Structures are given as structure tokens and as C-alpha cells.
Amino acid sequence: MKPSLDLATLRQRYQSGELTPLALVDDLLSRLGGEDGHAIWIIRLDADALRAYASKLEGRDIATLPLYGIPFAIKDNIDLAGLPTTAGCPEFAYTPEKHATVVARLIDAGAIPIGKTNLDQFATGLNGTRSPYGACRNAFNPDFISGGSSSGSAVAVALGLASFSLGTDTAGSGRVPAAFNNLVGHKPSCGALSTRGVVPACRSLDAVSIFALTAEDAERVLAVAAGFDAEDEYSHPLAPHGFDFGRAPSFRFGVPLQKDLEFFGNAEAERLFGEAVARMKSLGGTPVAVDLAPFLDTARLLYGGPWVAERYLAIRDFFDAQPDKVFPPVREIIAGGRDIGAADTFAHLYKLRAFKRVCDAVWNGIDVMLTPTAGTIYRVDDMQADPIRLNANLGYYTNFMNLLDLAATAVPAGFQHDGLPFGVTLIAPPHQDGPLLHLASRMQQALDGKLGATDHALPPAETLNLLADGQVRVAVVGAHLSGLPLNHQLAERNARWVSATQTASKYRFYALPDGKRPGLIQVSDGGAAIACEVWEMPASQFGSFVAGIPAPLGIGKLELADGSVVNGFICEGVGVADAKDITEFGGWRAWLAAQG
């Protein structure tokens, strides 16, 4: 069995000296040899080009390159300098002189591009069969669809031909193929990854997506690929995510009402979704019933409104000149955008704004939403016989995402009895990419499956903190404890309780003369552990919190029992001159209780 290409395994092998980038290229060439029976590739770099990329890494410091020697595949609507970009249409092809912004970021971080992958033509489809380069086949059973439009990108990773890959996701193209091939598929917050150098589908909605074997791998790639691009009008920085529901001991997750769940007759998918809900509960989640109707109403706008005209606009000159070169189902969809007028466009924009207002309110009651990624999967011949209706079924849970400016992560959720994978999607408001991937990791670990379609076991989880959270943790020991008089100062600043713990055994604890507050003093010997609570608040609120603390108290660095160091309440030495030493009580609550 060939070694795993997951990022943690490759990095360990590079660091130990067991593997070099040139040796990896030789291994990849042996994996890629033979017939492309799954119709994964449109064009690959030849051996000399691959070795040239690998050679550039010789003598480089692995520690400075987060993706050192990591092989990746690129959906063929994303530019790789020197190779044609076809968007699944050979007559449309052009050869770019520059990499797409996102590709350049990855290569600069040490990643090695392998080639360009098959797709539903012009990224219009969710099934992977709409390509003149052949219908891409499922990694587990080639009689079934791979999902699309980022079909080849998903299958390449699932079959162990690349560590990760880039797709695009406007309507579900980065999530549906992930579900059908047992992968993590992350659809980032819109604008977080530049789309400069990407052939548009719907330019105002397009997102570059990431396929990976693990949620940790996806986070590593996202941390490199994300970034503001001043030359992309739709680009914006990925903001700090705040509260990390993905690692919280408890969180609220939305589950669609039974009336809104649709599995298109697939009882196995329904069973597996029920198991995924139970898995979320086992991780500390509290399910909250959500009416999916306004989300589904939003989804219908994508192919029933002006965004079809945006698809037409993206390739208008080519489409009008050579319509016969466009794949029949794609041609039928895009042609529908020719006659959409300005008045209809505004009418649909007004509808979208109304739907979004309703959908946005849902997030007041939940941290994350859980849905199936797709309600069912189809055979290739069935999809080709009924391409519009069955493809629409695949988008039932995905088409609303970018219209509502949401982030999402598709994560494996088990296998049907026929051996085909099933996946679920975690959904959250924009900039929640970190928490989504952290929760996806926990879901993967709880399932404890294999990597893609390989026989490699899921590696142990890693605690990554590569995406800014914008949060500050504060340890409180007195009147700010839960239920005590000053706790409201935390609540007013959107602070969240993290844990109840103790300090390290190096502090003395005093009741200050006013009797309302304690003081904590670090000592070199004779100290004890003092009960405390750790809270987390937005960094933007931290300054006003500190400013309101009266002398002799203040905020300093406090060591906890587990050895970690956080911001916490400390006291000036002069403040305890007339104070009572209450260290023996072990905490403020115990002292208050002793006073009756």
C-alpha cells in the first residue's frame, strides 16, 4: 500500500528525512501511471515540470513553508501558468501567463501542483457528467456519479493521487463531490479566497473551495490560501471568528424540520443523517429545530433568477459565437439567462433581501446548522438520462449557501450498505471557517473512518489555531464569577464561560477591606490553588473591561493548574496590607459561604 498523502504524514516524513520532494514526485508518477479510468484529469504536468517544482524546494527550510512538498490538484477553471485553462470546453481554452492568486499562494508556501482536473463544463452542474472529457466516476463505484462540478478534484484526493485540491463552489460544487467521495470539502466564507484567475460561473457568488482528507488538512490549506486581494473586487479579509463553537463543550445546532428533510427515496441516507444528528449530540450539541423553508426559497432563486444571466454574462462572447460547442445541459441552462431583464433582476434582488432577513434571524438561536450534503446519489446512466431534474435534487441543501453569504464544511458521515459514502454539511455565518473546521474534525474523529477511498486510517486529531479568533480569555476569581454581582460586566461584553478550574499552586488569596472583592497575589513559596472561572470575550471589548477595574486590582498574567497562562485578575501588593488572608478557603465562593 502506498503511503498516505495526508499533510501530517507527509510533513513527518519530510522532517525525519525519510522523504524528499523529488522522491515524492517519483512516487506520484508511479501512482499516476496507466489509464485514467475515472476521467479525473484534463491535463497533467509532465515529469520534468513536476521535478522542476520539487527541485525549487531543495535546501529550503521546511519550517518556513507550511505546505512544503505537498502535492495538489487544480480544477480546470483555475489558472496554472503554462497549462491551458479549459473550463471543461476545449474550444474555450486559453493558456495563462500567471497563476491564479490562490494557486500562487499555495506554490509560494511549498505546494507542488500536479495538474488540472475534470469538471462539469463552465462549473455548471453538481454531478460530474457534463464534460466533453468524459463523465468523472465515483472513487468507490465507477457506475455512480462523482458529484460536481469539481468532480476530478474530489476523486483525485479520494484515490490518493493528491493531498488536497482546489475546486470552486457557487451552488454546492465543493461540497457534493466531497460527500460522494468521503472527503472534507470546505466552502470558505465568500471573498476569503481570491477568485482572480478563476473563470467565473456567477462572479458575485463564486468561491474557491478546498478538498482534503481531514479537516486539519483543510485548515492548513485555508490558512495559506486566504487573504485579501486588492485586484479582486469581491475579495475581503477573513475576519476573526470569535466564539469557537467547534471546540466548545456545548453548542447549539440547527436541524431541519422533518417536513423539510428530503432524501428522494433513499432510506440509507435518511438513516445516516439520523446517526449524524446523534453524533453531534454526543459531542455536546443541543439540537434546535429549524424551519428550512426560507433557505429553500432562497435556493430556488439561483437557477430561477438573474444569477443565470450572470452565468451567461461570464461567457457571453464565446457562447453567442459557438453555442454548439457547449455541452447540451449546460447550454440549456445558460441560454436561459439571455432574456432576463433589469426589472426582473431587481425583483429577484428584493426577494433575496427579504429571504436573507428571515434566514439571518435563525442564527440568533443556533451556533451552527447540520444538513445532509445531498439527499441521495445517482448512477451515471440515470443522471445522463435525466440531467436537469436529478441535478436539481443534488442542490436541494446547497444552492442557498452563497446567496445568503454563509460558510460551510462538508464532512464524511458514514457509508450506505452498498458501500457508497454519505456526507453532512456544517453551516454557519461568514467568517466562522475555523469553528466549522474544528467541529468537522470532531465529527471525523467520532466516526473514525478511512481517508477518502484509501485504506489509510484517519490520523489522530490535531489542535490547530491557524485562523484568528479575535478573542481574549480572562480568569476571574471574585465578584465576576457566574451569578455574582459583577458578572454582568462580562455578559454585557458578549463574554462566554469557558471553564471552571483552579490557578496553579503559587498564589495567596485575600478578602480586601471593603469585603466585596478578593485580591490574588503570586508568591514564591507557600502558595495554593485558587478556584477560578475562565471567560472569553471579543478583543474589541477587552479594553473597556480592563478600564473599569478599580485599584488595587488589575489584569495580569495568571497561570492555571494545567500550566496554561491567561489574562486574569491580580492585586497590587499594597492592596492586601490590611486584607484578610483567606487562602485556606480555596476560593471566593467558599469564603462567602463561610460568612453565612
Residue positions annotated with a catalytic role: 75, 149, 173
Strand-pairing partners, residue 508, are 521
Q: How many whole angstroms separate alpha carbon 414 and alpha carbon 330?
A: 32
Let me know if 264 is exposed, middle or buried by CB neighbors in 10 A (0-12, 13-18, 19+): middle
- DSSP letter at 404 equals T
| Strand stretches in 308-441, DSSP E | 368-372, 407-415, 421-428
DSSP string, 76-90: TTB--TTS-B-TT-G
Beta-strand relationship, 285-290 and 580-581: unpaired
- Which is nearest to 162 in space by CA: 176, 142, 148, 181? 181
| Dihedral sign from CA coordinates of 110, 113, 119, 122 | positive
> CA–CA separation, 44 vs 112, rounded Å?
12
Per the listing, cell 439567462 goes with 337
Amino acid in position 277: V
Q: Which amino acid is at 239?
A: A
* Beta bridge pairs of residue 427: 369, 408
> Can you read off the three cell numbers belonging to residue 319?
457562447
Q: What does the alpha-carbon distance between residue 153 and residue 174 come to, in Å, rounded to a whole number? A: 9
**Cα-flanking dihedrals φ and ψ of residue 566, to 5°?**
-130, 170
What interhelical angle do 342-362 and 293-302 show, nearest 10? 150
